[in-house]
Structure 1
């Protein structure tokens, strides 16, 4: 999210002083702490309707003794291909506090990649910086004018990637075959190359997987629409598939062709009693993209705080504003839908077909959540990154439009991928030992959506990327452009910072005992594919059964799922499945379900609150708990070393510990993004609500009594 400490941020209006608008809020953020090294982009979703960044403090009103003269001018560090666009030589930067009488003078510069503040001793105030920032951050752009291409052209094409990175990119047929073999899906599905060179569809990847009996010519018949595409297979043989809907047509001849085509496709994946399928039409009976857009637009306003007075004023009505945004309710609905699909795959032994208009938004979200819940491999860092590549990047999610990188259409800007990360955070928060990565990793990943160095999240499809990189695109050495992937984290962070991505509480999967045990054996896959309940009769007249032609015309496209019989006991099955799982101890390397009751769905504080100093819990929060647990783990390891007298091995074990300070009192709940510093806890509230809690000064003294930060 935005809202980092910025130059000339809004302060408290001084008595008798006229207000002076210097420049509006701009799309920049500034990290603090260990991970604040690079430029981090703002959150996705719709922006505020108009600029609201106001300064009420004149530079001449600041005490002159607070202006520190720099011994030498600070130079601006530019990345390869980065160009300076405009700058203001004298700007005041201050941290959001109750009294805005302390600050630092310096230069504010705007490049084609970042907005940066440099402390120096210049004195002339430039005014063209306002229009420059607005133009280069908010004005519509062309794709080739993104810094992504300038950087790639300036960097040598043979930039090596991290050799320890085992992320599967799914840009070759071999990658898909590997995934089929890993999930045992190769028994019923096959990887096809019918779309090589994007001859069939520019929306589909060059390689993907379809049911083995499906003829490849069926894929090209309607440019990939109406074809079930494989996402993932469960260990019992059931599979998760997705399908983009056929467009609506009014011509009876085309309608009949569509009906015959879908009928044949359906018979491939629905063959009772061994192969059952249920269809989830996400375009008609789930969330809509405008719902997500509206909810996030309201939700993010809670975190665009300019000063302490505004923070405390918002704090009084926090829960009512949070509820009215409906963002947490949307997260709950996404998790519930994923659990419903999981119940079909696990308890009912039924294939699930997700249907959406283009199968590139809600299909990506639901299918990814299902795999995180059911596949422990997706809860490792490499597995999660491979999942994002498969379902989102190669799967054709329109990152360029949904993140509005070109600032061309606010209507298309919907934070679907951020919603997915928020849902994953709920799982990480509820089941920490099940995940190899941390919430800090998820936070940094959400920031990387807006860093125009990596190509991962800046295209609408693999075809668009290939079309804009190949051909005339050349770097400074004349070689084809090499666009970096975000998964090479060494480009952004040093090894010490990357240790914060690794969850020290992760429970690794125990090694399997390969010795045969009496009375236990793995069930054959075909046996596991049998339905647990009485088989349902197959639909009459194929896919469309007894529906009239008029009804078929209305249901083609977005409403295919209405044509499948759903069990009337869906809610009962869901509740029984949900309660039964939560009544047992969690298996961190098996099926994993979240709690979705009201209080269990929470705000992702580290991401949304990290730039608000008043929201920090000094010496507390989950970071403090993790720090104490790590301390206990280190003590246990030390005792084990002494008992076994392996002193030489002790250094290696200590080197594996994350880079966290030993004393939790020196940490903030928003570590590593927030700077550890004291902030006045006295609220600036002209209301009677706070007065009812007692004297403000007395309350501030009582709060400080429980926190001893020591030397910082």
Structure 2
């Protein structure tokens, strides 16, 4: 039946599409009522955002095992996003999502968030490229944040449609990054490298000066193609078109997960960071991270090391500073790695997303050590694909300055209003921002004056020294033999010790790792993750949040957190009453009620969706239906006798 722009129908268990077909065009149904509804639906544009095209009478589909529901509306495209404006949103959703993004709506897709667009022609799905010779019956859009949209166009008219940084530990050891040395060098480049090494000596202010371990990430660690291939396989587990496909995949989900190697890559990143920490903490050895351009894996490993070693990086302000220093100012190529301009798919590698996934492993294993939540990490990953934020848009600060300077010189251009991703008020209301703050965070106790005198650490927090930029090698990696020979001959024995010392270090990783985990965790000290197989898990909130079949009704981490938040609010209220009685002070104004406490129905999809109706799981896997034969044959069969034996 059709009504108020909503389509509903039923079919057999085998057919994924509806058996009911309407031959009445939607514009012929309740015409007057539809016209009134369309007038109420408005497109919200950002300042400077322009409408490019629109298509009316588009059906947004919601697919399940045995039925197909949807809502009619308008599909529009601007120079910023693709948006669907439903004629009657209430027909599909009874509860309104409370964790709203003020920039991106539930049915909005930033253009930079589009991963793939498919067209359905005669029930066959094909990737769309360039100009279309034939208009598809349906559009399927896969997003980089793992949402999947289905739009039926059956009733739509065709015409509508490079710098170096270091950080020092409190024992004086330094963590440094540098580009790989070119194989062929002139006198100017040699002098540049000499100045760089002299800069190392100035940073390392404790003897023995020559003890530095070199970690060549270009040759003995992951490669960017490895990361790209693994994530391409991994994300397919979550880009589910319908419930039938979900249950088909569910049977072999763990084998597909293992074959993607994504969790193994996360484990290797965490292990490499722990190896660096072991040198800095246990062996009191300085570490030099080397990579071809020092802006991908160097950023990842050095950031993980600082998150694990420096409790300041586990606060919201410290984590923001870390990202700005190591990734943004450090020259990570966000424009290329996120492929914002769609110029080269080969350059699109989710290195920063891999870093956030590694941080999530730490947050999941040690919640009280972090001031921010997994929701904070999730919305930060989403912000990668919202191009109004300049934080993650350019390849380097230099590129940003060049482009913005060119705009400023144009007298006829409108001044750009730049936004930073760290201003969360742009995306979320204050009430929603409470979900970014971890209520379980254990703050560091403040010391009195007497205790402070006895504690004098030489910790130079986030010491950043921009040194001379060296040119990157035209080929990947840097070969130890050639570099070692070059340095010995040209720069002397003292400098060669920087390279040779790494051969003398003993592999004490396992002893260091097991020793730390045998002791109680210090949330304001060194923090190591478990990297054994079952401990490295899928970041469920980010990857499963758009799949209703995967939700846990009234459960998951949200259920536990909601109860803890409620208890903490009661404790805070009681503490205020005690303070008021003892000090005769007015009680502090109560904070806004938490979303967790005020939400009556929660699931593991929260806060990105409230409780959703969950399709029942089929008794038999859909992949096994074909083996049973046709429905008519199955109905004619007699019940088979099964001998259960003696009871």
Structure 2 CA distance for partners of 1:236 and 1:305, relative to 1, 3 Å: same
1:459 aligns with 2:394: yes
Structure 2 CA distance for partners of 1:302 and 1:121, relative to 1, 3 Å: closer
Instruction: Give CA deviations for 1:688-710 in whole Å, capped at 9, x if unaligned.
Output: 87999999999999999999999
Deviation at 1:676, TM superposition (A): 1.5
Instruction: Give CA deviations for 1:374-410 in whole Å, capped at 9, x if unaligned.
Output: 1111111111011100000010000000000000100
Structure 2 CA distance for partners of 1:674 and 1:429, relative to 1, 3 Å: same
Deviation at 1:516, TM superposition (A): 5.3
Structure 2 CA distance for partners of 1:200 and 1:391, relative to 1, 3 Å: farther
1:552-571 alignment to 2 at 5 Å? Answer: 564-565=499-500
In the alignment, the residues of structure 2 paired with residue 289 and residue 47 of structure 1 have an alpha-carbon distance, to the nearest angstrom, of: 42
Deviation at 1:271, TM superposition (A): 8.3
State the SS of the aligned residue for 2:516.
Answer: helix
What residue ranges of structure 2 are gaps of 5+ in the alignment?
108-133, 140-157
State the SS of the aligned residue for 1:191.
Answer: coil
Instruction: Give CA deviations for 1:303-356 in whole Å, capped at 9, x if unaligned.
Output: 000100000000000000000000000000000000111111111111111111
Deviation at 1:411, TM superposition (A): 0.5
Contact 2:7 2:71 in 1 (8 A): no
1:364-375 alignment to 2 at 5 Å? Answer: 364-375=299-310
Deviation at 1:108, TM superposition (A): 1.0
In the alignment, the residues of structure 1 paired with residue 207 and residue 355 of structure 2 have an alpha-carbon distance, to the nearest angstrom, of: 34
Contact 1:236 1:528 in 2 (8 A): no
Contact 2:181 2:483 in 1 (8 A): no
Out of 474, 479, 502, the position equivalent to 1:544 is 479
Contact 2:431 2:592 in 1 (8 A): no
In the alignment, the residues of structure 2 paired with residue 53 and residue 537 of structure 1 have an alpha-carbon distance, to the nearest angstrom, of: 63
Structure 2 CA distance for partners of 1:626 and 1:618, relative to 1, 3 Å: same
1:104-119 alignment to 2 at 5 Å? Answer: 104-119=71-86
Deviation at 1:655, TM superposition (A): 3.6
Deviation at 1:494, TM superposition (A): 0.9
Structure 2 CA distance for partners of 1:690 and 1:640, relative to 1, 3 Å: farther
Contact 2:210 2:494 in 1 (8 A): no
Structure 2 CA distance for partners of 1:603 and 1:653, relative to 1, 3 Å: farther
In the alignment, the residues of structure 2 paired with residue 40 and residue 487 of structure 1 have an alpha-carbon distance, to the nearest angstrom, of: 41
In the alignment, the residues of structure 2 paired with residue 428 and residue 388 of structure 1 have an alpha-carbon distance, to the nearest angstrom, of: 16
1:35 aligns with 2:2: yes
Which range moves more in the overlay, 74-83 or 478-487? 478-487
Which range moves more in the overlay, 692-701 or 414-423? 692-701
Structure 2 CA distance for partners of 1:107 and 1:639, relative to 1, 3 Å: same
In the alignment, the residues of structure 2 paired with residue 699 and residue 238 of structure 1 have an alpha-carbon distance, to the nearest angstrom, of: 72
In the alignment, the residues of structure 1 paired with residue 136 and residue 212 of structure 2 have an alpha-carbon distance, to the nearest angstrom, of: 26
State the SS of the aligned residue for 1:665.
Answer: coil
Contact 1:74 1:120 in 2 (8 A): yes
In the alignment, the residues of structure 1 paired with residue 642 and residue 600 of structure 2 have an alpha-carbon distance, to the nearest angstrom, of: 7
In the alignment, the residues of structure 2 paired with residue 202 and residue 61 of structure 1 have an alpha-carbon distance, to the nearest angstrom, of: 20
In structure 2, what is the equivalent of residue 478 of structure 1?
Answer: 413
In the alignment, the residues of structure 2 paired with residue 357 and residue 532 of structure 1 have an alpha-carbon distance, to the nearest angstrom, of: 16
Structure 2 CA distance for partners of 1:478 and 1:615, relative to 1, 3 Å: same
In the alignment, the residues of structure 2 paired with residue 122 and residue 106 of structure 1 have an alpha-carbon distance, to the nearest angstrom, of: 9
1:352-371 alignment to 2 at 5 Å? Answer: 352-371=287-306
Instruction: Give CA deviations for 1:347-375 in whole Å, capped at 9, x if unaligned.
Output: 11111111111100000000100010011
Contact 1:92 1:103 in 2 (8 A): yes
Deviation at 1:77, TM superposition (A): 1.5
Contact 1:108 1:115 in 2 (8 A): yes
Instruction: Give CA deviations for 1:449-500 in whole Å, capped at 9, x if unaligned.
Output: 0101110111001110000001443799978534211111111111111111
What residue ranges of structure 1 are gaps of 5+ in the alignment?
1-33, 129-185, 205-215, 222-228
Contact 2:168 2:463 in 1 (8 A): no
Deviation at 1:302, TM superposition (A): 0.4
Which range moves more in the overlay, 607-616 or 653-662? 653-662
Q: More strand by proportion, 1 or 2?
A: 2
Contact 1:250 1:553 in 2 (8 A): no
Structure 2 CA distance for partners of 1:290 and 1:109, relative to 1, 3 Å: same
Contact 1:433 1:505 in 2 (8 A): yes
Which range moves more in the overlay, 687-696 or 700-709? 700-709
Instruction: Give CA deviations for 1:616-648 in whole Å, capped at 9, x if unaligned.
Output: 111000000111222232344455556666599
State the SS of the aligned residue for 2:200.
Answer: helix
Contact 1:331 1:422 in 2 (8 A): yes
Structure 2 CA distance for partners of 1:235 and 1:406, relative to 1, 3 Å: same
Contact 1:368 1:387 in 2 (8 A): yes
The alignment of Structure 1 onto Structure 2 pairs a total of residues equal to 601
In the alignment, the residues of structure 2 paired with residue 106 and residue 693 of structure 1 have an alpha-carbon distance, to the nearest angstrom, of: 40
Contact 1:539 1:545 in 2 (8 A): no
Deviation at 1:188, TM superposition (A): 47
Deviation at 1:50, TM superposition (A): 22
Structure 2 CA distance for partners of 1:510 and 1:703, relative to 1, 3 Å: farther
Instruction: Give CA deviations for 1:648-700 in whole Å, capped at 9, x if unaligned.
Output: 99997784476234388711112111232221222385558799999999999
1:696 aligns with 2:631: yes
What TM-score does the superposition give when structure 2 sets the normalisation length?
0.71
Contact 1:244 1:359 in 2 (8 A): yes
Structure 2 CA distance for partners of 1:672 and 1:342, relative to 1, 3 Å: same
In the alignment, the residues of structure 2 paired with residue 191 and residue 70 of structure 1 have an alpha-carbon distance, to the nearest angstrom, of: 23
In the alignment, the residues of structure 1 paired with residue 31 and residue 159 of structure 2 have an alpha-carbon distance, to the nearest angstrom, of: 77
State the SS of the aligned residue for 1:481.
Answer: coil
State the SS of the aligned residue for 2:6.
Answer: coil
Contact 2:174 2:287 in 1 (8 A): yes
Instruction: Give CA deviations for 1:395-436 in whole Å, capped at 9, x if unaligned.
Output: 000000000000010010000000000000000000000000
Structure 2 CA distance for partners of 1:654 and 1:434, relative to 1, 3 Å: farther
Deviation at 1:611, TM superposition (A): 0.8
Structure 2 CA distance for partners of 1:621 and 1:694, relative to 1, 3 Å: farther
In the alignment, the residues of structure 2 paired with residue 217 and residue 269 of structure 1 have an alpha-carbon distance, to the nearest angstrom, of: 67
Which range moves more in the overlay, 583-592 or 265-274? 265-274
Structure 2 CA distance for partners of 1:253 and 1:387, relative to 1, 3 Å: closer
Contact 1:613 1:679 in 2 (8 A): yes
Which range moves more in the overlay, 422-431 or 252-261? 252-261
Deviation at 1:529, TM superposition (A): 19
In the alignment, the residues of structure 1 paired with residue 469 and residue 78 of structure 2 have an alpha-carbon distance, to the nearest angstrom, of: 65
Contact 1:269 1:275 in 2 (8 A): no
TM-align CA RMSD: 13.0
In structure 2, what is the equivalent of residue 634 of structure 1?
Answer: 569
Instruction: Give CA deviations for 1:30-52 in whole Å, capped at 9, x if unaligned.
Output: xxxx9999999999999999999
Instruction: Give CA deviations for 1:114-168 in whole Å, capped at 9, x if unaligned.
Output: 111112399999999xxxxxxxxxxxxxxxxxxxxxxxxxxxxxxxxxxxxxxxx
In the alignment, the residues of structure 2 paired with residue 411 and residue 440 of structure 1 have an alpha-carbon distance, to the nearest angstrom, of: 30
Instruction: Give CA deviations for 1:520-550 in whole Å, capped at 9, x if unaligned.
Output: 8768999999999999999999999997998
Contact 1:86 1:109 in 2 (8 A): yes
In the alignment, the residues of structure 2 paired with residue 283 and residue 302 of structure 1 have an alpha-carbon distance, to the nearest angstrom, of: 29
Contact 2:361 2:529 in 1 (8 A): yes
Which range moves more in the overlay, 80-89 or 696-705? 696-705
Deviation at 1:249, TM superposition (A): 1.5
Structure 2 CA distance for partners of 1:78 and 1:36, relative to 1, 3 Å: farther
State the SS of the aligned residue for 1:655.
Answer: coil
In the alignment, the residues of structure 2 paired with residue 269 and residue 43 of structure 1 have an alpha-carbon distance, to the nearest angstrom, of: 72
Instruction: Give CA deviations for 1:174-228 in whole Å, capped at 9, x if unaligned.
Output: xxxxxxxxxxxx9999999999xxx999999xxxxxxxxxxx999999xxxxxxx
Contact 1:89 1:122 in 2 (8 A): no
Contact 1:355 1:561 in 2 (8 A): no
In the alignment, the residues of structure 2 paired with residue 546 and residue 46 of structure 1 have an alpha-carbon distance, to the nearest angstrom, of: 65
